[in-house]
Structure 1
């Protein structure tokens, strides 16, 4: 807590009393990392000689620790930004889809997929957009990618079967049967 609150004198007292600065908090962060984030350089310098090297810190020095913590914070901020942006794009795409504006919905799903290309739901939704716009091949391609990401998801098989049916391929039966097998209660299958 002293490191997190930037309480320099308390850090000194705790170290003099024999406190162990190598004990992580409940989130796995050591006092020196908390000092680098919330305290001052002086706090990091005080804790440095008493702290065992952290394997994820490439440059084990006061500056190296401070840089490492700043990099972690930046990555978290970037991850949160990406998640929020993907969520916002998905919401906009869903609204466009409800208005039967499949072209704009597909564009928005594509933008979201550029930020998170492992989101099976986005692929499934874009596959349905392609299908509604009459592009069976693109619908099939997205459904196939979706199925690779989530092989036991009935909707992925349903989307693939729907695309195959649209293109008049006999393999549609197999894909739709698998969807029904995975989710017999589904209204889509």
Structure 2
């Protein structure tokens, strides 16, 4: 909350007092928040406290990319030494990152480019998923989400990829974001229920799957998982 309110002094006191500086799941990463708000002193304090600059946000962006877009060159320079190279950045340097992000922003202003690129990435992701190559499928869906942060279907697809790869926390994060975008979409609640099941939170699964059944009472897939949750709750 301190970072969201850009209260750096409060954030620093909390960090000094032992607050967790690690990512609290895919939906919240303190370093991402500091980078996208250009909070230079907070970034420095977080890094010194051991925050990991190589954790992606839910849309596949690293803190250094957000710093290049929203912060200052100083923020990028601070994050650079501890950030692993990004494969899509041709020249791995501070200037290279800044140029790469500026180019991405320019491309996103071109509607034709965005539509073509997004369609290609989704197709590649779907093809990888069919081959059960869930890692590459998740990478393609992540790149596609950079084109459109508000595509609930992409989040749903990636949530399933995380689940197939055994990462319940990330599956939960994407499903939760999906529900925020489409609260009346049964599949979003089903994805969340499946993530809860994987994490053995059967009460949470029951609640999510109940909502999914309310929205789509004809779904045999949802009904099957709902009864599994019911049995495991007892």
Q: TM-score, normalised by structure 1?
A: 0.59
Whether 1:100 aligns to 2:132 is: yes
Whether 1:82 aligns to 2:114 is: yes
Name the residue aligned to 1:117.
149
Cα 1:78–1:131 shift into 2, 3 Å: same
**2:126, 2:108 → 1: CA distance?**
27
Q: Deviations over 1:70-89 (max 9, x none)?
A: xxxx9998112101111110
Map 1:53-72 → 2, pairs under 5 A = none
Whether 1:126 aligns to 2:158 is: yes
SS for the counterpart of 1:175 is helix
**2:187, 2:132 → 1: CA distance?**
20
Q: Deviations over 1:33-52 (max 9, x none)?
A: xxxxxxxxxxxxxxxxxxxx
Cα 1:165–1:85 shift into 2, 3 Å: same
Over 3 Å off, 4+ runs: 74-77
Question: How many residues end up aligned between the 2 structures?
Answer: 116
Residue 181 of structure 1, aligned match among 214, 219, 223: 214
**1:76, 1:111 → 2: CA distance?**
12
Name the residue aligned to 2:4.
none
Whether 1:147 aligns to 2:190 is: no
**1:142, 1:82 → 2: CA distance?**
22
Cα RMSD (Å): 1.8
Larger radius of gyration: 1
SS for the counterpart of 1:159 is helix
Name the residue aligned to 1:138.
170
Q: Which runs of 5+ in 2 are unaligned?
A: 1-105, 223-234
Residue 164 of structure 1, aligned match among 196, 199, 215: 196
Cα 1:76–1:93 shift into 2, 3 Å: closer
SS for the counterpart of 1:152 is coil
